[in-house]
Amino acid sequence: MHPGNGAEGPLTPGLVFEMLQAHQRTAALKAAIDLDLFRAVGEGPGDVASIARHCKCSERGIRILCDFLTITEVLVKEDGRYRHSPTSAAFLDPRSPMSLASIAQFLSNPANREPYDHLAEIVRTGRTTLAGDGSVEPENPIWVQFAETMAPMMAPMAGPLGATVLEGRTGPMRVLDIAAGHGLFGIEIAKQNPQAQVTGLDWAPVLRVALDNAQKAGVQERYDMIPGSAFEVDFKGPYDAVLLTNFLHHFDQPTCVALLKKVHAALKAGGRVATLEFVPNEDRVSPRMAASFSMTMLASTPAGDAYTLSELTAMYTAAGFSNITAHPIPMSPHTIVLGSA
């Protein structure tokens, strides 16, 4: 999507034009998901008339939308018919077990989208234009939606996270999952270690989603819950491990250090904390997906950020942790950072 402007090409305004129209890409993918277009493409035969019938849409609209999705490399067009690309077959057809269609609901939630209509003001003031503390406002209902819809995006990370935290450790242990959300990370620990007792901590309405998932996984007998704010509730330690997934990035560094100290105090000696984070390189502009996440934090929080490993290490150290190690998860923008109490 960067026409021209490569070292190899002549100078053209293609990149500028493409960026000013990039919002069309988001709208097109969201519309296609909402219209059940990817099921229609998967079922075939893939001509405009059949897809339009399935989606109860105009042929003009379907033709132009499918052409646009072909241009953006989501679909493949051949002899006037559309079929899945490997990407759409795996991640967009609702019949696929890896379907990510539900994450569009969270990412296009007005609470997540609206700040971008005021981005200049956000850059000016340095904080979200959302009311209160934005996405980290207490009891913000978006986290129920996150728990309900973003699980498919996070599920592939659960296995590697569980293995990294446990490192083959068996036997009785207690694990606290802070900001549990969908609960998948703590549940994975319970699955990998049949003697692990897991405590999920999150807002009460969110924990209902985690409990549902614990029941589906058959580990609800070993799944306890602490409803409330991680900054306010008693953690009820001591624990062998504390998971702190996709959470630190919402807050400024002093807030993170204070929370990490509270985590440290809730761990047994030698117990470990494990964060799952978007960790950009020290240049803050690579890798692309992890580094881009700072923009999401600028738009939606008062002071959050995608922290570099040196920043996370400094915070861990300030909170009393040692043996700090980073474990990037292959094929994902996430990194696990471990520390020992």
| Binding to a second copy, residues 9-68 (CB under 8 A) | 10-31, 34-35, 55-65, 67-68
Choose one: 3-11, 132-140, 199-207, 262-270; the region binding a second copy (CB under 8 A): 3-11
How many residues touch a second copy under the rule CB under 8 A: the total is 90
Among 193, 199, 245, 296, binds a second copy (CB under 8 A): 296
For a second copy, the closer of residues 72 and 195 by Cβ is 72
For a second copy, the closer of residues 193 and 294 by Cβ is 294
Applying the rule CB under 8 A, the residues between 139 and 198 that interact with a second copy are 153
The answer to whether the beta carbons of residues 182 and 210 sit under 8 Å apart is yes
Phi, psi of 15 (to 5 degrees): -65, -40
The answer to whether residue 8 forms part of the interface with a second copy (CB under 8 A) is no
* Shortest spacing between CB 146 and a second copy, in angstroms: 14
The answer to whether residue 258 forms part of the interface with a second copy (CB under 8 A) is no
* Shortest spacing between CB 82 and a second copy, in angstroms: 10
Give the x/- contact pattern for a second copy in 217-256, rule: CB under 8 A: ----------------------------------------
* Shortest spacing between CB 193 and a second copy, in angstroms: 28
